[in-house]
Amino acid sequence: MIAAPLPPARFWGLTAAGAAAFVGLWSAAALAGLTSRAFLPAPWDVLARFAELVAQPFAGYRLHEHLLSSLQRFAMGFGLAVVVGIPLGLLMAWFRWVDRIVSPAFEAVRFVAPIAWVPFAALWFGTGIGGPVLIIFMGAFPPVLINTHRGAKQVDRKYIEAAQMLGASAWRAMTEVLLPAAVPSIVAGLRISAGLGWQSLVGAELIVASSGVGYLMVKGQAAISTATVMSGMAAIGAVGLLIDIALRRLQRAIERRRGI
């Protein structure tokens, strides 16, 4: 049985209570001196360091400039996954021979973790933008392709046959029947894809980048500054949450429009 959604007031109340409990336990552990404050800074220490990183450059840039660099790489890798994944998924659903050609290679590649592409990307691109973009693409591409293909396959054949009977070409049937019907599944895949792409980006920046939030965290580790590392983690989590919220709202808008 699926639980009924909570009223907004109760939902936000429970969310605030959970966050307060987490911060409270963290503060208590820091104040109790379970370990050195250099390794377990208090929440206010991290907040102060976060403010310093926004105001003063660290590892060459301020925090928001590192974030912009990360977002640029993410937009390129995620955008490439969308541009390739959606058309290819539709073609695989429409033409069986395309599915037969693509599926074996795709099934082999999609089980390779995005982080496993880091050595390959480093050899090919060094610390240039191509390496992180490749790693983000390899993380974001499979969910886009799978959900597009699955959504298109679930379209009732009678709608496609009706379009063909009215003289629609294969291109028009794909773009005006298959694609609109598969949109809810595609958007659901984009949420998964964005999450995996953002996680892959941070992993890539830990090794094959000279800017970005992941790079900032590496430099913070080298400086033995846990507060810097945790500030980077907080920035990563906040931006990832905002990306997911935007895609979730897009998904709900599409579902409302379709009466789902």
Nearest to 148 by CA among 98, 199, 198: 98
3-state DSSP assignment of residue 80: helix
Other beta carbons within 10 Å of 127: 15
Other beta carbons within 10 Å of 237: 11
Rg (CA), the chain: 22
Interval 84-110: pLDDT, tens: 999 999 999 888 899 999 998 898 888
| Range picked from 29-33, 36-40, 211-215, 256-260 for highest mean pLDDT | 211-215
Position 39 scores a pLDDT of 82
Interval 175-198: pLDDT, tens: 777 888 888 889 889 999 999 999
Number of domains forming the structure of the chain:
1
Residue 84 lies in a domain: yes
For residue 51, the enclosing domain spans 41-258
CATH number at 50 reads 1.10.3720.10
Residue 24 lies in a domain: no
Residue 69 lies in a domain: yes
CB distance 88 to 101 below 8 Å:
no
Check the CA dihedral 219-221-225-227 and report its sign. Answer: positive
Q: Is the per-residue pLDDT at 5 higher than 70?
A: no
Position 232 scores a pLDDT of 92
Q: How far is CA 199 from CA 11, 71, 91, 136, 260, in A?
A: 27, 12, 28, 8, 30
**Nearest-angstrom CA–CA distance, 126 and 124:** 6
Position 85 scores a pLDDT of 93
Which pTM was predicted? 0.85
Position 1 scores a pLDDT of 46
**Encoded amino acid at 167, one letter:** G
Helical axes 63-94 vs 213-222, angle rounded to 10°: 130
233 burial level (CB within 10 Å; 0-12, 13-18, 19+) = middle
- Residues with Cβ within 8 Å of residue 39, at least 6 apart in sequence: 226
Q: Is the per-residue pLDDT at 260 higher than 60?
A: no
Residue 2 lies in a domain: no
Position 115 scores a pLDDT of 83
Position 56 scores a pLDDT of 92
Residue 3 lies in a domain: no
Mean pLDDT across the stretch 221-226? 88
Check residues 15 and 98 and name the one with the higher pLDDT. Answer: 98
Position 89 scores a pLDDT of 92
Residue 27 lies in a domain: no
pLDDT band for 3, please (50, 70, 90 cuts): low
Mean pLDDT across the stretch 204-228? 86
Give me the torsion for CA of 31, 33, 35, 41, rounded to 10°: 20
Residue 15 lies in a domain: no
Residue 13 lies in a domain: no
Check residues 126 and 92 and name the one with the higher pLDDT. Answer: 92
